[in-house]
A and B are shown apart, each in its own frame.
Chain A
Amino acid sequence: MSLIATLARMEAVSTGRAQPAATVRHRRLSDRPLVFVPLTTAGEAGAPLGALVGTDRDAPHLLVVPQPRDRELRFAFLSELADVVLPYIDTYADDVEAAERGETDPETGKRVKVEVELCADAPQLIVPSRAGVDFVRLLGRSMRFRRTAEQDPETPYPAPPRVPLLGRWLTHFGERARVPGSSLLLAMTDVLARHWATGQSTLEDQHLGALLAWIDPPPLSTSLERGDPQSASTGAEAALRAELARDRDGQLLCPPAGPATDPAFDNKLLAPAIERYDRARTALAAAEDGLEADDRLGDLTAAEREIRALVESRTRPTWDAVWRGLDLLRSRLPEAGQHVEERWTRDRWSFTGHRDRVLAGEPPQPRRDDAVTAANKLAAREREQARLEAQEALDDPLVMAGRRLAGEAFAGEVTEVVMAYSEGKRPSPRPLVTVRTDDRPHLGERAKVFRSLGGKPQAAEFVGYEKAPEDAPDDGSALVVLRVLDKMGRGKEPEEGSVPEKDDLICFTLFEHEQRGGAKLPDPEQTPWTHGGPPGEQVPEAADALTQEDVL
């Protein structure tokens, strides 16, 4: 944790309220996100219990699996989920704009520009917490290798038509969420924790209720209504209550954001309800005539309704909390601007790319990446991570302050500019700029530093520290001498505005603003002997085998 993050957390502890960790919003929020609040069954990997899902905060779709171990019912749930999610995705798939993409011409081997479609906007999935992101990935994995009756008439338990397709999309969202700075699939706790520092541990920050309590404690009036004016005075106390407070029946007042449920809920409320449902179902199956069946169908419906109510009671608070989090992010923080837009454009490319692969009838994403794909993904993510860190600092003075405190950047006032030139046949301008700064950057010999000049990085090199004049008061500031290296035009004299002037306030970073491309990796069929050689002819991945238990 950086020093500034530690300071912010200590301040949050002492004030009892979350402290800002950013002054602008560093993640893109769609105008019409699809919020997904799933619950899972304890002890059953990938067995959903239910979910609230939708784009309308006042009218979520409630989906429930009354008996989570019944795979027919699970398929019915997944099918309903597909009916909500896929139409939402489709609304973004058709609205396209023309764009250009660099491609290698297969005949000449040259890089050429190709006119392609780019979706004008992309869907955005929001889940309550990081565990929700993992669950999306798990659902995707559990569905994308199922076969529908149309794909394989022989399959004993065919999946409903659109379920494998939903699996491919959820897999894509889950995989994209691993790219730093992407916004196709967001965990609300992660986004909130990016922008506010609380006085609790990062693990506790994964509790959405507690996190919101730190950021936006309930107003005093609510606690007065409860007749307890003291208890809700700080976010810290409200957070503790959100985490631990239980009602008379031992149920949490603020249910966990899932997908795992509270054991007290599982044992005391859910298990008996599911048992009643099972009994009603067995009874219905054993009914001997129509009249009896009608009766027992009534019981079954009642039992199912009870489970639906239970699931809704546990997901609705989280649903509301996610929307409250969205309100907070939208109302308190303006979007950071161009860099966020740029990253969202890459999300749109990613979305468009997957849309095209689906349309082209390509097979689902393989179970495991091959060596080249894995290396490419890792390199791309590392590039994105470095880019994200640089862009967040450039977009946000508070983030930059953290980098300055860590010695990775410095800001100050220009005290002197001396014109100088490079040696050689055509001397180019290499002005020497002296900056007075109170920061303590870790400048090594001839270290490169960068500043943003009209959105482009201008490089300078550290020449040395200048001694302060004898009569200057010792205020702990340092005089840093830099030699500006580029972005001054081609002429002998630097272009107007390209060199800092005396009294300018400027900020230099020790980190680069833009990332260079990495090494070109071989094509997968050229995988070298050190990495197992070429993977061989691509065979379509087999469907998941039928197993007694869920093995993924």
Chain B
Amino acid sequence: MTAVFDPGAAATRATDAILHDTLHGTARGVVVDSPPGAGKSTLVVRAALELAEAGRPLMVVAQTNAQVDDLVLRLAEKNPELPVGRLHSSDADPYDKALDDLPNVRKSAKAGDLTGLSVVISTAAKWGHVKVDEPWRHAIVDEAYQMRSDSLLAVAGLFERALFVGDPGQLDPFAIVGSEQWAGLSYDPSASAVTTLLAHNPELPQHRLPVSWRLPASAAPLVSDAFYPYTPFRSGTGHDDRRLAFAVPSDGSGPDRVIDEAAEAGWGLLELPARHTPRTDPEAVRAVATVVRRFLDRGGAATSERSPDPAPLTADRIAVGTAHRDQAAAVRAALAELGVTDVTVDTANRLQGREYDVTVVLHPLSGRPDATAFHLETGRLCVLASRHRHACIVVCRAGVSELLDDYPSTEPVQLGTVVKFPDGWEANHAVLARLAEHRVTWRP
């Protein structure tokens, strides 16, 4: 008899163990690895509430203002009575206006105004300027894998112990100048906060959330195999739980065929003829915009475990992901020409942590003559390929696998650094091989 995998029970077990270590453990830190959509934010909110309710005030460190505001809103939603402090910068419009409607959230640019509150939340950059006489007893560091080691160095003096939560598969933090000089040092300032933390404290308990609630059953195995080969995870839903249907049938064009393929299989590759192009490849950009337009025109409806009735696939449930900002700008312009508004178009960096029903991705290597470390970075592809609940369509020029073979990775190996698996080359091949099964070739 084989045991039936119960995703709900597995996730609960993991969460309970994490909360136990956080509330009752003796270690100064607890590290939690979370694959895409595994309920990381839910965990952070729950841990914060349980600490606060146990009378242990805490500070929360997130990486961006959007993440901070999102956490404040979630906390207030779960417990509107909880006194929460939102520490913000002194710039204009430093926080989401929605926070003004929450009676128990106090906002200030000075940490001193927020003393005594159960939870105080801010960005790592802002915490870096805060001085305290007495450190906080507890902290939660969110998106810790996206935080740089030097940024942790600036705030680590503020707390005694902390829960570090993050996704190791997403984009690594980066520096805009060379940092090879410190490669291999345990406290390399350009490494991720978790790398440094674990190098100095290898005995800390490490946990993993085992179930992705976001990724559909069609996507979880690929994302898990390609980007998390040694820490596999499962999808929380089965193949029949999610469906995408359209009111308008296909007109037989490339975009419509790839939409149908993706609705059926969860993945679709719209392959344009091979060609070297500038970054803002006009044909590929137009193809991306056309696919989005057709998604909307064909009256899509998404059925999922969340509700028995299909939910209409509206513009706000669709996102376009690119590698570069100028590509995102070009796609936005192309969408505007087609009369599409309200579809999120952003780079991988900015899409981190976000979730949509459908994503359309311009492949980072499409049309390129070379494969640089930037374009090969595992995290970039992982973010782009793991934002969707139903389907992901990749638009790409033919010839990327040949390009990959022409550019094996040549980065110098630095002594003492932890080699990250898989490398971008391997991950890109794995994803392409899978996408090739759902290929629709199209000459616009």
Binding site for B on A (CB under 8 A): 3, 178, 180, 368-372, 374-375, 377-379, 381-382, 384-386, 406-407, 440, 442, 446, 485, 518-522, 526-533
CA distance A202 to B183 in the complex (A): 24
| Interface assignment of B431: CB less than 8 Å from any CB of chain A | no
Point out the residue from B125, B153, B193, B278 that lies within 8 Å of A521, measured CB to CB: B153
Interface residues of B in 329-343 (CB under 8 A from A): 329
Interfacial chain B residues near A384, Cβ < 8 Å: 177
CB pair B200 A519 closer than 8 Å: no
Point out the residue from A3, A369, A485, A528 that lies within 8 Å of B156, measured CB to CB: A528
Interfacial chain A residues near B325, Cβ < 8 Å: 407, 442
Point out the residue from A180, A485, A531 that lies within 8 Å of B187, measured CB to CB: A531
CB pair A530 B29 closer than 8 Å: yes
| Interface assignment of B98: CB less than 8 Å from any CB of chain A | no
CB pair A178 B196 closer than 8 Å: no
Q: From B184, which residue of chain A is reached at the shortest CB distance? A: A368
Given A3-B278, A442-B326, A532-B186, A375 contacting B153 (CB threshold 8 A):
yes
CA distance A407 to B193 in the complex (A): 33
Interfacial chain B residues near A3, Cβ < 8 Å: 278
CB pair A382 B154 closer than 8 Å: no
Identify the stretch in B144-152, B267-275, B286-294, B381-389 within 8 Å (CB) of chain A at 4 or more residues: B144-152
Minimum CB–CB distance for B285 against chain A, Å? 14
CB pair B153 A522 closer than 8 Å: yes
Interface size for B (C-beta < 8 A) is: 38
CB pair A375 B28 closer than 8 Å: no
CB pair B329 A442 closer than 8 Å: yes
| Interface assignment of B66: CB less than 8 Å from any CB of chain A | no
CA distance A526 to B187 in the complex (A): 15
CA distance A533 to B156 in the complex (A): 11
Given A442-B325, A532-B200, output 11 extra A-B contacts at Cβ < 8 Å.
Answer: A3-B278, A178-B177, A369-B181, A375-B149, A375-B187, A440-B329, A442-B326, A520-B128, A529-B200, A530-B29, A530-B200
CB pair A385 B187 closer than 8 Å: no
For the complex of A and B, the 5 pairs showing the least CB-CB separation, nearest first, are A519-B128, A528-B156, A375-B150, A371-B187, A519-B154
CA distance A460 to B177 in the complex (A): 29
| Interface assignment of B176: CB less than 8 Å from any CB of chain A | yes
CA distance A527 to B185 in the complex (A): 15
| Interface assignment of B252: CB less than 8 Å from any CB of chain A | no
Interfacial chain A residues near B92, Cβ < 8 Å: 485
CB pair A378 B29 closer than 8 Å: no
CB pair B151 A178 closer than 8 Å: no
Given A526-B157, A531-B200, A375 contacting B189 (CB threshold 8 A):
yes
CB pair A531 B149 closer than 8 Å: yes
CB pair A519 B125 closer than 8 Å: yes
| Interface assignment of B175: CB less than 8 Å from any CB of chain A | yes
Minimum CB–CB distance for A11 against chain B, Å? 16
| Interface assignment of B142: CB less than 8 Å from any CB of chain A | no
Point out the residue from B128, B153, B181, B329 that lies within 8 Å of A528, measured CB to CB: B153
Given A374-B185, A518-B128, A532-B186, A382 contacting B176 (CB threshold 8 A):
yes
CA distance A531 to B325 in the complex (A): 34
CB pair B187 A521 closer than 8 Å: no
Interfacial chain A residues near B187, Cβ < 8 Å: 370-371, 374-375, 531-532
CA distance A526 to B157 in the complex (A): 8
Q: From B158, which residue of chain A is reached at the shortest CB distance? A: A528
CA distance A369 to B181 in the complex (A): 9
CA distance A384 to B326 in the complex (A): 24
Point out the residue from A378, A485, A526, A529 that lies within 8 Å of B201, measured CB to CB: A529
CB pair B154 A521 closer than 8 Å: yes
Minimum CB–CB distance for A242 against chain B, Å? 26
Interfacial chain B residues near A533, Cβ < 8 Å: 200
CB pair A374 B189 closer than 8 Å: yes
| Interface assignment of B404: CB less than 8 Å from any CB of chain A | no
Q: From B125, which residue of chain A is reached at the shortest CB distance? A: A519
What are 5 contact pairs spanning A and B, CB under 8 A? Answer: A374-B189, A384-B177, A521-B150, A527-B153, A532-B200
CA distance A442 to B154 in the complex (A): 33
Interface string of B220-258 (1 = CB under 8 A from A): 000000000000000000000000000000000000000
Interfacial chain A residues near B178, Cβ < 8 Å: 178
Q: From A522, which residue of chain B is reached at the shortest CB distance? A: B157
CA distance A530 to B148 in the complex (A): 12
| Interface assignment of B179: CB less than 8 Å from any CB of chain A | yes
| Interface assignment of B171: CB less than 8 Å from any CB of chain A | no
CB pair B150 A378 closer than 8 Å: yes
Greatest chain A CB density within 10 A among B93, B176, B187 is at B187
Point out the residue from B152, B182, B326 that lies within 8 Å of A374, measured CB to CB: B182
Greatest chain A CB density within 10 A among B150, B200, B201 is at B150
CB pair B326 A529 closer than 8 Å: no
Given A529-B201, A532-B200, A374 contacting B129 (CB threshold 8 A):
no
Q: From A371, which residue of chain B is reached at the shortest CB distance? A: B187
Minimum CB–CB distance for B349 against chain A, Å? 14
CA distance A43 to B29 in the complex (A): 47
CB pair B154 A381 closer than 8 Å: no
CB pair B185 A379 closer than 8 Å: no
Minimum CB–CB distance for B280 against chain A, Å? 9
Interfacial chain A residues near B185, Cβ < 8 Å: 368-369, 374
Q: From B199, which residue of chain A is reached at the shortest CB distance? A: A532
CA distance A519 to B181 in the complex (A): 22
Interfacial chain A residues near B151, Cβ < 8 Å: 519
Point out the residue from A382, A406, A519 that lies within 8 Å of B175, measured CB to CB: A382
CA distance A52 to B154 in the complex (A): 46
Minimum CB–CB distance for A292 against chain B, Å? 52
| Interface assignment of B188: CB less than 8 Å from any CB of chain A | yes
| Interface assignment of B197: CB less than 8 Å from any CB of chain A | yes
Given A375-B149, A375-B150, A378-B190, A407 contacting B329 (CB threshold 8 A):
yes
CB pair A381 B200 closer than 8 Å: no
CB pair B93 A378 closer than 8 Å: no
Interfacial chain A residues near B157, Cβ < 8 Å: 522, 526, 528
Q: From B28, which residue of chain A is reached at the shortest CB distance? A: A529
Q: From B325, which residue of chain A is reached at the shortest CB distance? A: A442
Q: From A446, which residue of chain B is reached at the shortest CB distance? A: B93
Interface string of B302-333 (1 = CB under 8 A from A): 00000000000000000000000110010000
Interfacial chain A residues near B190, Cβ < 8 Å: 378
Interfacial chain B residues near A530, Cβ < 8 Å: 29, 152-153, 156, 193, 196-197, 200-201
Interfacial chain A residues near B93, Cβ < 8 Å: 446
CA distance A520 to B155 in the complex (A): 9
Interfacial chain A residues near B154, Cβ < 8 Å: 375, 518-522
CB pair A385 B200 closer than 8 Å: no
Point out the residue from B150, B278, B326 that lies within 8 Å of A379, measured CB to CB: B150
CB pair A378 B189 closer than 8 Å: yes
CB pair B129 A520 closer than 8 Å: yes
Interfacial chain B residues near A442, Cβ < 8 Å: 325-326, 329
CB pair B326 A406 closer than 8 Å: yes
Interfacial chain B residues near A531, Cβ < 8 Å: 149, 152-153, 156, 187, 196, 200
CA distance A518 to B179 in the complex (A): 17
Q: From B194, which residue of chain A is reached at the shortest CB distance? A: A530
CA distance A406 to B330 in the complex (A): 12
Interfacial chain B residues near A369, Cβ < 8 Å: 181-182, 185
Interfacial chain A residues near B329, Cβ < 8 Å: 407, 440, 442
Minimum CB–CB distance for A458 against chain B, Å? 15
Interfacial chain A residues near B196, Cβ < 8 Å: 530-531
Interfacial chain A residues near B326, Cβ < 8 Å: 406-407, 442
Minimum CB–CB distance for A426 against chain B, Å? 16
CA distance A369 to B325 in the complex (A): 35
Minimum CB–CB distance for A466 against chain B, Å? 16
CA distance A276 to B84 in the complex (A): 82
Q: From A530, which residue of chain B is reached at the shortest CB distance? A: B156
Q: From A369, which residue of chain B is reached at the shortest CB distance? A: B182
